Structure 1
Amino acid sequence: MFQSLLNLKYSWQQSSKEDINNKELVDAVISILGFSIKNLPSEKKKELIQQMYSRTIWFTYRKNFPQILNSQQTSDAGWGCMLRSGQMIWAQILRVHIRQKKQHSKDYQYKLLCAFADDDDDEHKKLLTNDLKVCLSPYSIQKIETISQIKFSTKPCQWYRPDQVLNAFLQLHQLKPLEGSEDLQISISDNLLYDRLYCEMYGLQMDCEHIINEIKMDKTKEISKICNICQKQQPKSLAIFLLTRIGLEEINKDYLPFLNDLIDLPYFQGIIGGKDDKAYYILGRVNKKLIYLDPHYIQEHINRGNILMLKETFFCKDVKYINEESMSPSIALGFYCQNQMELDKFFTTVEEIKKNYNNDKIFGYINRITPNSIIVGIDENDFLVIQDEDL
């Protein structure tokens, strides 16, 4: 009964959802998963939004899957929306990473969907013994729950925050990366720090004085020309997740212009957040309306054996929009940099965007060097005020 009511509510919301009309699309700023759509007729713009939306992997609530460790739960309905949203943004970054290498096999989409299958034949129990030599579903909901209980002492089947689900993916990826993503690194922080991102891309320690000293001498120097010693390391691609809170109970509208500038970046791969404790995966925007995928629809669980037969359950055709001011203030933004050149361009662009705003209009600490800092107070938005010791 509960599951039927949730699906009924989903269907009602779908029938009464916000939409975009052709008039709004005439001069609209349209950004979706790193792509900018402009200088086209309104009908063509709408068609492209539809195509990109319907090809993005959609994870939803599932039912009747193998029970989750230390619980009797066989469905995540009512509590797993952040887990599903996290699966969506991570699947999108894996998809982009594997495709950009241009070495993927024809069945890469099948393998990608398998990696998130709910029915993992008790593979999650291997996490207890670190025996993951054979693991076909490294990002199943059972494994997310199990690794979270092991590493973070979370209770079974509770609602997750963005940072919790992303750190679970970080742990799982380090244990057993999906084939083709071994050269992908994950960075999770509430700040954007140039030297830290570089070190993470190259697998270096943060005490690399060569990097720090070079940046101090020339803050405009391209990071690719910094350190010959560091160049001996093999760089990886980087999935960057920026955790932030842009308001307390409601969105602080002052942050929205800066947020929209970040959504417009070619490196942008989505936001996990939502509205009223309902997590969504946000793909982009049309002016002030956000395009999102909604996980709050209950479907029968799918195992690796029938994914191809039921592949359509992983894709949604009906584009959904939400007003940006209705979004939850607790969000995580995802970006992808394939190589060092893209990381340089990404950070330089963010620095340029930052110059357009006063400090109280941006979120996250953005700097070339990780500072030696001290906490000097708390502002009116309940954020820590941090000051460099050198100031």
Structure 2
Amino acid sequence: MNMDAMFDICYLSADGNTIEPDDIPKTKENVWVLGRKYSAIQDLERIRRDISSIIWCTYRKGFVPIGDEGLTSDKGWGCMLRCGQMVLGMALVRIHLSADWVWTPETRDPTYLKIVQRFEERKQAPYSIHQVALMGASEGKDVGQWFGPNTVAQVLRKLAVYDKWSSLVIHVALDNTVVKEDILQQCIVKHDQGDSSSASDNVLISDWMPLLLIVPLRLGLSEINPVYIDGLKMCFQCPQSIGVIGGKPNQALYLIGCVGDEVIYLDPHTTQRSGLVENKMTDEQKEMDCTYHCKYASRIPMLAMDPSVAVCFLCRTRSDFDQLCNTFEQNLMKESQPLFEICEKRPSHWGPSTNDIDLQYTSLFNDLEDVDRQFDDSDEEFEIL
């Protein structure tokens, strides 16, 4: 079987007939995916090519046991963790490859393989389900317990500190507020250049650490308030957008774009076997790599989304960050009900900016995430074994 056939085999119906996907509507409205504008009519194949280049993380089974209960699958509880992996995977692709990078079943780029390996079901992989689930315990979530968008953001923030190769800063905005001062302190790295005795040689050189900015939001109590829809669309349209961690009630989804009043998403609710891509030399490794890519996205109405979301942006450079802040101030802040606030300095009532204080603060969000979550039942119909 050739590699394209391996990739396409997932899109056959039970009786073996090819399914015509309903991923992108035939419309004259613009399609937005990860900050890029497309025509649904003229760019359909390009949209699908770019969507299939996203690293798709799904439930897996048969991995090394996790936690006291020795769980060997994350079916029914890991969908939000998988959405977090997808956001981080997208960030790493943009940082270490490019925004225009394209995956094919033949891809064996060593940098790409290094990124995928970071999400494999191995305990030592920096962002494996094992690492994410176990780090979740420090956020008060037992292994096998469902995460909310904020919890997965905080867990990724902690894990990224230990992965020097990834070379990014994850900043999770607190209390619906993006504080420029805090972000600049994290992202600007000063190097003392020049060891000679001449003072003029000791020049401070500033580098920018790429920023993954995650803003957890609650856009309503039990359902989304329509007043936030336009702001949400603006987030998908920012060039720095790398999607939204969200979903529909009781099902986490990676929301990658929008068309009209619908969101486009990748769904983690498919259970695939665990395995290693490694250097992609064997047929089994090539086949495993194809399981990290989904050819067709899906859609739901924005108003059908769960109101608990986290909007995500990647700023590879200081210029990207300044442009993003300008977009927020010129567009988002003009909304009658802005999604969040942006300010220059940390609000005085927050106290000093230390990681310990920030981590304590996250427990305030957890109360919002434990409402009406009976996960396993609602996932059952989405399983493909």
TM-score scaled by length of structure 1: 0.74
Matched residues in 2 for 1:187 and 1:197: separation?
7
Q: Given the superposition, is the C-alpha separation of residues 300 and 203 from structure 1 closer, same or farther in structure 2, using an over 3 Å criterion?
A: same
Matched residues in 2 for 1:231 and 1:48: separation?
44
Match of 2:146 among 159, 175, 181: 159
Gap runs ≥5 in structure 1: 1-6, 124-136, 205-229, 375-381, 384-391
Q: State percent identity of aligned pairs.
A: 27
8 Å CA contact retained: 1:64, 1:74? yes
Match of 1:297 among 270, 279, 303: 270
Asked if residue 140 in structure 1 is aligned to residue 128 in structure 2, the reply is: yes
Match of 1:114 among 97, 114, 117: 117
Asked if residue 331 in structure 1 is aligned to residue 320 in structure 2, the reply is: no
* SS of equivalent to 1:43: coil
1:327-365 Cα distance to aligned partner (Å, 9 max, x none):
11000011011111111111011100035322xx11222
1:5-38 Cα distance to aligned partner (Å, 9 max, x none):
xx9xx99xxx89865442x2x2x12211121225
TM-score scaled by length of structure 2: 0.75
Matched residues in 1 for 2:323 and 2:286: separation?
38
Asked if residue 193 in structure 1 is aligned to residue 179 in structure 2, the reply is: yes
Q: Name the counterpart of 2:156.
A: 169
Q: Given the superposition, is the C-alpha separation of residues 20 and 101 from structure 1 closer, same or farther in structure 2, using an over 3 Å criterion?
A: closer
Residue type matched to 1:148 in 2?
Answer: G
8 Å CA contact retained: 2:63, 2:72? yes
8 Å CA contact retained: 2:276, 2:285? yes
Residue type matched to 2:158 in 1?
Answer: Q
Matched residues in 1 for 2:141 and 2:219: separation?
25
1:168-198 Cα distance to aligned partner (Å, 9 max, x none):
1111111123x3x22x111101321222222
Q: Name the counterpart of 1:264.
A: 237
Gap runs ≥5 in structure 2: 1-9, 101-107, 191-202, 279-283, 351-366, 369-385
8 Å CA contact retained: 1:282, 1:290? yes
Q: Name the counterpart of 1:365.
A: 341
Residue type matched to 1:29 in 2?
Answer: N
Q: Name the counterpart of 1:276.
A: 249
Match of 1:247 among 216, 220, 225: 220
How far has the Cα of 1:259 moved from its partner?
1.1
8 Å CA contact retained: 2:181, 2:344? yes
Matched residues in 2 for 1:304 and 1:55: separation?
16
8 Å CA contact retained: 2:23, 2:296? no
How far has the Cα of 1:277 moved from its partner?
1.4
Q: Given the superposition, is the C-alpha separation of residues 346 and 65 from structure 1 closer, same or farther in structure 2, using an over 3 Å criterion?
A: same
How far has the Cα of 1:308 moved from its partner?
3.0
* SS of equivalent to 2:72: coil
Matched residues in 2 for 1:31 and 1:260: separation?
9
- State the aligned residue count: 313
Q: Given the superposition, is the C-alpha separation of residues 231 and 331 from structure 1 closer, same or farther in structure 2, using an over 3 Å criterion?
A: farther
1:293-322 Cα distance to aligned partner (Å, 9 max, x none):
000011111224554342111111122111
Alignment of 1:1-391 (within 5 A): 19-22=23-26, 24=27, 26=28, 28-38=29-39, 42-100=40-98, 106-118=109-121, 120=122, 122-123=123-124, 137-149=125-137, 151-177=138-164, 179=165, 181-182=166-167, 184-189=168-173, 190-202=176-188, 232-305=205-278, 306-358=284-336, 361-373=337-349
Q: Given the superposition, is the C-alpha separation of residues 153 and 356 from structure 1 closer, same or farther in structure 2, using an over 3 Å criterion?
A: closer
* SS of equivalent to 2:73: coil
Residue type matched to 2:345 in 1?
Answer: I
Q: Given the superposition, is the C-alpha separation of residues 355 and 139 from structure 1 closer, same or farther in structure 2, using an over 3 Å criterion?
A: closer
Residue type matched to 2:232 in 1?
Answer: L
Residue type matched to 1:294 in 2?
Answer: D
How far has the Cα of 1:82 moved from its partner?
0.3
How far has the Cα of 1:245 moved from its partner?
0.7
How far has the Cα of 1:255 moved from its partner?
0.7
Residue type matched to 2:181 in 1?
Answer: D
Residue type matched to 1:352 in 2?
Answer: Q
How far has the Cα of 1:101 moved from its partner?
10
Residue type matched to 1:198 in 2?
Answer: L
Q: Given the superposition, is the C-alpha separation of residues 138 and 20 from structure 1 closer, same or farther in structure 2, using an over 3 Å criterion?
A: closer
Residue type matched to 1:37 in 2?
Answer: Y
8 Å CA contact retained: 1:114, 1:307? no
Matched residues in 2 for 1:164 and 1:56: separation?
23
Q: Name the counterpart of 2:376.
A: none
Q: Name the counterpart of 2:353.
A: none
* SS of equivalent to 1:87: helix
How far has the Cα of 1:84 moved from its partner?
0.7
